């Protein structure tokens, strides 16, 4: 595989400049959590790989993202980076990795960068501005995330569309402007009415990337398992499934099981063969006498 400079990696300034209203193509972001997934997303031509903390729901079998740790994010960020993708890798800061102190926030962000990320994503608005600022001051690029922020699931009382009234929409717009003012290079808008996302997108100089936020954002993000039909739960309304890989994979395993049970796998072509000399020597070996139970 070629080196990073050879294959023209997507950079933070590349993404920062991608406003659709200025003639840019919409940004494409997809999550990935491991090396094969990163190769697929990169090969499909995405611009960004998000090592999302949706890792918890999609790979680790948790019901939410609150159980995902720094250790999990570091391991999976490193796995994604081993694919050496052209995509810019953005890693999620997991819950409680930026909530307690500004030093801890910057240090944890640096750990994800050292694991292979090119930027980190931080959930939340006004209350998280000091943490975002501390990370940016450490020269680490930050992507914001507003609206339905899954790490706030307990406080929100479930996964609900946000910014549905004037006051909440106003607060979201202010938070987006504050994040942009601090130097975030892009903002994910999740689970908000399309018109709210369109207004934020219009007001910001940096790009917005939507998920359940309508078509007016500067880009879109989908979760790998939702896009490919690999998740076990019914996906939310905003997901479009482009394949049924779970169906294909289950049918493939069923065919393998049937072949093994019928003695049809492995065949000649799937077996290693001995030299004539070894075959002859083995033919001369007799089977051991079966053990006898009891007396004569
Ligand atoms: O963790 C994740 O997958 C995300 C996206 C839904 C934006 O944060």
Q: How does strand 119-123 pair with strand 88-92?
A: parallel
Q: How far is CA 18 from each of CA 1, 22, 159, rounded to the nearest angstrom?
A: 28, 8, 29
CA angle 184, 186, 6 (to 5 degrees): 100
Give catalytic residue positions: 190
Question: Does the N-terminal peptide bond of residue 26 adopt cis geometry, omega within 30 degrees of 0?
Answer: no
Residue 92's nearest CA partner among 147, 55, 138, 39 is: 55
CA angle 215, 57, 81 (to 5 degrees): 80
Dist CA 50 CA 223 (whole Å): 9
Q: How far apart are the CA of 273 and the centre of ligand 1, in A?
A: 49
Provide the 8-state DSSP code for 152.
Answer: G
Does 57 contact ligand 1 (Cβ within 6 A)?
A: no
Residue extents of the structural domains in the chain: 3-243, 249-283
Dist CA 157 CA 150 (whole Å): 11
Domain range 3-243, CATH architecture: Alpha-Beta Barrel (3.20)
Does 31 contact ligand 1 (Cβ within 6 A)?
A: yes
Per-residue pLDDT of the chain (296 residues; tens, 9 = 90+): 434 444 699 999 999 999 999 999 999 999 999 999 999 999 999 999 999 999 999 999 999 999 999 999 999 999 999 999 999 999 999 999 999 999 999 999 999 999 999 999 999 999 999 999 999 999 999 999 999 999 999 999 999 999 999 999 999 999 999 999 999 999 999 999 999 999 999 999 999 999 999 999 999 999 999 999 998 788 999 999 999 999 999 999 999 999 999 999 999 999 999 999 999 999 988 777 776 666 54
Does 53 contact ligand 1 (Cβ within 6 A)?
A: yes
Output Rg (C-alpha) for the chain, integer angstroms: 25
CB 128 within 8 Å of CB 122: yes
CB 159 within 8 Å of CB 185: no
- To test the pocket of ligand 1, the residue of 54, 67, 91, 142 to mutate (highest count of ligand atoms within 8 Å of its CB) is 54
- To test the pocket of ligand 1, the residue of 51, 223, 239 to mutate (highest count of ligand atoms within 8 Å of its CB) is 223
CB count within 10 Å of CB 256 equals 12
Element (H, E) at 83: none
Does 92 contact ligand 1 (Cβ within 6 A)?
A: yes
Q: Render 163-204 in DSSP notation, one character per residue.
A: --SHHHHHHHHHHHHHHHHHT-SEEEEES--HHHHHHHHHH-
Residue with the smallest CA separation from ligand 1 atom 8 is 52
Query: What pLDDT does residue 211 have?
Result: 98
Query: What pLDDT does residue 96 have?
Result: 98
Q: How far apart are the CA of 114 and the centre of ligand 1, in A?
A: 21
CB count within 10 Å of CB 241 equals 15
Per the confidence metrics, is the pTM higher than 0.75? yes
Close Cβ partners of 75 (under 8 Å, ≥ 6 residues apart): 115
């Amino acid at each position: 595989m070629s080196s990073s400079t050879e294959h023209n990696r997507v950079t933070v300034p590349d993404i920062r400049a991608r406003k659709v209203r200025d003639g840019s193509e919409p940004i494409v972001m997809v999550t990935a959590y491991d090396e094969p997934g990163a190769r697929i997303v990169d090969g499909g031509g995405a611009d960004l790989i998000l090592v999302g903390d949706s890792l918890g729901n999609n790979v680790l079998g948790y019901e939410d993202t609150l159980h995902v740790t720094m250790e999990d994010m570091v391991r999976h960020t490193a796995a994604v980076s081993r694919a050496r993708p052209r995509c810019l890798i953005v890693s999620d800061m997991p819950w409680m990795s930026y909530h307690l102190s500004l030093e801890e926030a910057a240090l944890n962000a640096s750990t994800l960068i050292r694991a292979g990320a090119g930027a980190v994503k931080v959930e939340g608005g006004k209350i998280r501005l000091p943490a975002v600022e501390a990370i940016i001051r450490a020269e680490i690029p930050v992507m914001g995330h507003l609206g339905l922020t899954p790490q706030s699931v307990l406080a929100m009382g479930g996964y609900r569309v946000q910014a549905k009234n004037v006051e909440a929409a106003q607060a979201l717009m202010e938070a987006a402007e504050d994040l942009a003012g601090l130097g975030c290079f892009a903002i994910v808008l999740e689970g908000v009415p399309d018109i709210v996302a369109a207004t934020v997108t219009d007001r910001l100089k940096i790009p917005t990337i939507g998920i359940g936020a309508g078509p007016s954002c500067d880009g879109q993000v989908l979760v790998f398992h939702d896009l490919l039909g690999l998740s076990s739960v019914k996906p939310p309304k905003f997901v479009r499934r482009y394949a049924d890989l779970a169906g294909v994979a289950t049918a493939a395993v069923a065919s393998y099981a049937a072949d093994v049970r019928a003695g049809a796998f492995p065949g000649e072509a799937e077996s290693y063969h001995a030299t004539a000399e070894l075959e002859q020597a083995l033919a001369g070996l007799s089977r051991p006498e079966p053990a006898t139970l009891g007396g004569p």
